[in-house]
Amino acid sequence: MKNSTMIQYFEWYLPADGKHWDRVQKDAAHLHQIGFDRIWLPPAYKGQGGSHDVGYGVYDLYDLGEFDQKGTIATKYGTKDAYIQAIQSCHENQLEVIADIVFNHRMGADQTETIQAKEINWNDRDQSISPEESVEVWTKFIFPGRKGKYSDFIWDWSCFTGTDYDARTKQTKLLEFYSKKWSENVSQEQGNYDYIMGDDVDFSNQKVVDELYHWTRWYKNLTGIDGFRLDAVKSIDSTFFPRWLATMRQEYQDDLFAVGEYWSGNLNELKDYLRTTSYCMTLFDVPLHFHLADASNSYDQYDMSKIFEGTLTRIAPQSAVAFVDNHDTQPGQALQSWVQDWFKVHAYALILLRDTHCPCVFYGDYKGIAHDQKGQVPFLEEMVWIRKYVFDADQIEDRLDDRHCIGWCAKGIHPIVVVLTNGWASQKTFSLPEHVFDSFVDITRNDYKIQIDKDGSGTFTCLDGKCSIYIKEEDFISMKKEMKR
């Protein structure tokens, strides 16, 4: 899909009003019009927090807002019917729907079980710090509100590898269950990063794997989703996803899009994971996100010429999903690493107006975040439109040649020029001989134009600490006309 662009259509602090699926449905036509072709929706199933659960505290994968469980029928985002209607609206507007898949853990069990387990060192998960002892753990999921509809599978302690709470002693501690062992095919962070939270799903248990396959088929057939955003892949047995994705792609005769969240700024870890999983998915380019955050926090001390060095976007672009921020990096969250507001236009130009595979725009930047008093990123819709209707990734001339001012020109029938600086006002000169005497407009300063001279040369300026985006005047007029529709 040429010039594909995805939007993450949620942020952490959305109102718990059960109306988000309605918002998706109403916005779908506009999203398509300005140039998006993929929409990543939040986890749609019931979480332990009921109507206030963002979706990552997974309780029941089969409850999409249909059953009275955890004190509510609707999820935070709405009912099952509203969810399916939202997906249908997206499809009617040529948006592929990417579903958020959280397989790593379960939370909010219905009953406890008494089993044997040993306590594990949080900082070295390969080290036990107690002998096996009797513990009482919340691991029995019977889903009384669903009563076996869609699946009669009951989750018990044998479906999990460990948990983090002993109800008998009322103590929080990392527990590895009797006869169980953390998967070896995970990140080696803290010795072994199999465990994150809740009841850790055991991917070595065949009945568990079979149930996840059954659920995926049910979910795909019911909703018609077009791909997957895979949560916390570094903590899930890496042998699972290649087989699972290959099976689903074969059964549905569909090259289902998949992007994994492997949260690490270490490029070598991401490269190793891609090789280990036979490149069955793309990965979010976390190293690039950290570069953008560092640049925004370092002001003119950051070397802009190296912004793409050591990133997945640079070394494996077809396997990278570039992003600026997401629900985990926004202020107040566990992975907070927010790209500062002054640098947001710079950051989005760097991922949207270059030859990136499928960059992702964050809802919090698109709509603003009331909770954090963050506004909409200026010119974001315009950049998405330019990427869709004007940008040609096949003829890029780079000028990533200065510590403070970098730029590039995407040539062709409808050229664009980007110049950005983290310091004083600056400029870049590009040769565009096919566009002699054509006028170019900086969309960030719509009263400012430059004209290509008789020799086919144009000097494109940028103000202090700003990002300038130039397109031909006729394209600028078309864009303004389209954006008003």
Instruction: Please state the rounded mean pLDDT for residues 277-293.
Output: 98
> Is the residue at 48 inside a domain?
yes
Q: What are the two backbone dihedrals, phi and then psi, of residue 399, each rounded to the nearest 5 degrees?
A: -130, 60
> Is the residue at 1 inside a domain?
no
Instruction: Please state the rounded mean pLDDT for residues 346-373.
Output: 96
200 labeled part of a ligand binding site: yes
Which pLDDT band, with edges at 50, 70 and 90, does 1 fall under? very low
Share of the chain above pLDDT 70, in %: 100
Which entry of 176, 231, 269, 285 is annotated as an active-site residue? 231
Do 74 and 115 share a domain, yes or no? no
* Predicted confidence (pLDDT) per residue in 287-317, tens digit: 999 999 999 999 999 999 999 999 999 999 9
Do 429 and 382 share a domain, yes or no? no
* Predicted confidence (pLDDT) per residue in 223-269, tens digit: 999 999 999 999 999 999 999 999 999 999 999 999 999 999 999 99
Q: pTM for this one?
A: 0.97
Domain membership of residue 90 as a residue range: 6-104+206-389
194 labeled part of a ligand binding site: yes
Do 320 and 227 share a domain, yes or no? yes
CA distances (Å), origin 411, targets 281, 446, 471: 31, 21, 11
> Is the residue at 446 inside a domain?
yes
Q: What is the CATH number of the domain that holds 191?
A: 2.40.30.140
The reply to whether 231 belongs to the active site is yes
Do 39 and 120 share a domain, yes or no? no
Do 128 and 51 share a domain, yes or no? no
Which residue from 37, 11, 9, 14 is spatially nearest to 24, judged by alpha carbons?
A: 9
104 labeled part of a ligand binding site: yes
> Is the residue at 339 inside a domain?
yes
Do 79 and 113 share a domain, yes or no? no
Instruction: Please state the rounded mean pLDDT for residues 190-213.
Output: 98
Q: What is the CATH number of the domain that holds 407?
A: 2.60.40.1180
Q: Please provide the average confidence, as pLDDT, over all residues in the chain.
A: 97
* pLDDT of 451 over the 50 cut: yes
Which residue from 475, 472, 434 is spatially nearest to 456, judged by alpha carbons?
A: 434
* pLDDT of 282 over the 80 cut: yes
> Is the residue at 286 inside a domain?
yes
Least confident of 167-176, 391-400, 461-470: 391-400
Which residue from 328, 324, 336 is spatially nearest to 7, judged by alpha carbons?
A: 324
Do 93 and 123 share a domain, yes or no? no
Q: What is the CATH number of the domain that holds 236?
A: 3.20.20.80
Instruction: Please state the rounded mean pLDDT for residues 447-467.
Output: 96
Which pLDDT band, with edges at 50, 70 and 90, does 3 fall under? confident
Do 168 and 298 share a domain, yes or no? no
Chosen domain end from 389, 405, 430 = 389
* pLDDT of 483 over the 90 cut: no
Chosen domain end from 374, 389, 404 = 389
Instruction: Please state the rounded mean pLDDT for residues 370-384.
Output: 96
- Pairing label, strands 133-140, 111-121: antiparallel
The reply to whether 63 belongs to the active site is no
Do 223 and 330 share a domain, yes or no? yes
* pLDDT of 78 over the 80 cut: yes
Do 197 and 344 share a domain, yes or no? no
Which residue from 101, 103, 100, 96 is spatially nearest to 224, judged by alpha carbons?
A: 96
Do 171 and 83 share a domain, yes or no? no
> HEC profile for 405-437?
EEEEEECCCCCEEEEEECCCCEEEEEECHHHCC
CA-based R_g, the chain, Å: 24
Which entry of 261, 325, 365, 442 is annotated as an active-site residue? 261
* Predicted confidence (pLDDT) per residue in 19-74, tens digit: 999 999 999 999 999 999 999 999 999 999 999 999 999 999 999 999 999 999 99
Which residue from 417, 349, 406 is spatially nearest to 339, judged by alpha carbons?
A: 349
pLDDT at 2: 65
Chosen domain end from 340, 363, 389 = 389
Do 222 and 340 share a domain, yes or no? yes
Instruction: Please state the rounded mean pLDDT for residues 172-181.
Output: 97
Which pLDDT band, with edges at 50, 70 and 90, does 136 fall under? very high
